[in-house]
Amino acid sequence: MTFSPHIIRELLRTSDHQLQELKETYALLPATRCRRKTHCCSMLPEMTLVEALPVIRRLVEMNSAMRNSLIQKIITYFFLNPVEITSCPFLEGQECRIYPDRFFGCRSYGLWSRARYEALAARDRKAKKHLQEQWKSLGVSLPKKVVDFQVPYCLCVETNGPEVIDDKTLLKASDRIEEISSHFSSRHQWFARRYFSDLSFLLSALMFGYTQAVQMKFTLVRDMVHTKDRTELDKIIQELPDLCEALT
């Protein structure tokens, strides 16, 4: 019920057809420009397994210096996101380091109608409240500013041409991506249910082991909430092994 480097290698080797279908689905969305370029990239969006794979492949193919710096940011994000609003770990200055492979959540942001966006935001708020309660039951009160944080509705994204996109088309693309990812059957479900559709969780679990990653996160978050001391986290990040050696 958990991913190993072996499973990820196998998925990367056998998913060309699904990745091509994913590209074709992304191409249904119009090219856009944004006046507040990357200003809203404050969180790593949720994604399906098929969307995570091209990014993992991109990481594997990067030069090791760039990969190690990115992996450090991703693992830091995983451990810190309940206590701090940082930014998406793929954001570097005003550039997205994985722009050609960015997720549906990034591509559709700013294109939804206000009503639809508010419905999605309400769903996220509910999920965050639930998470907050789970942490509370373990004796940890997450900072209110993190629990309440939401990326606001955006009016700054415009399509490049005259093309207008509506919620129906976006939903169709979203459903199609879900369908492509469902090809990975139980693995698609594991990623959604056990890893909460979170690439930073998947990579941390591959790095440390699933249970160990969860236990480490609990200890680090609890200590950060109580003491704000990052010494232990910094030590872990400095000593990370090169995960991609296991994935190649």
Binding site for ligand SF4 (CB under 6 A): 38, 41, 45, 88, 90-91, 96, 98, 102, 106
Of residues 91 and 216, the one with the C-beta less far from ligand SF4:
91
**CA–CA distance, 9 with 5 (Å, rounded to integer):** 6
Of residues 51 and 216, the one with the C-beta less far from ligand SF4:
51
**What six digits make up the tokens of 45?**
């969006």
Of residues 45 and 216, the one with the C-beta less far from ligand SF4:
45
**Alpha carbons within 13 A on the beta-carbon side of 243:** 28
Of residues 152 and 162, the one with the C-beta less far from ligand SF4:
152
Per the DSSP assignment, residues forming a β-bridge with 159 are: 32
Q: Whose CA is closest to 178, among 169, 188, 187?
A: 188
Of residues 52 and 205, the one with the C-beta less far from ligand SF4:
52
Look at residue 37 and give its three-state secondary structure.
coil
Task: Give yes or no for a contact between 55 and 198, defined as CB atoms under 8 angstroms apart.
Answer: no
Q: Which helix (H) or strand (E) holds 69?
A: helix 64-80
To 5 degrees, how large is the angle CA 198–CA 140–CA 221?
50
**CA–CA distance, 196 with 117 (Å, rounded to integer):** 20
Of residues 67 and 222, the one with the C-beta less far from ligand SF4:
67
**CA–CA distance, 77 with 89 (Å, rounded to integer):** 7
Q: How far is the CB of 122 from ligand SF4 (least distance, A)?
A: 21
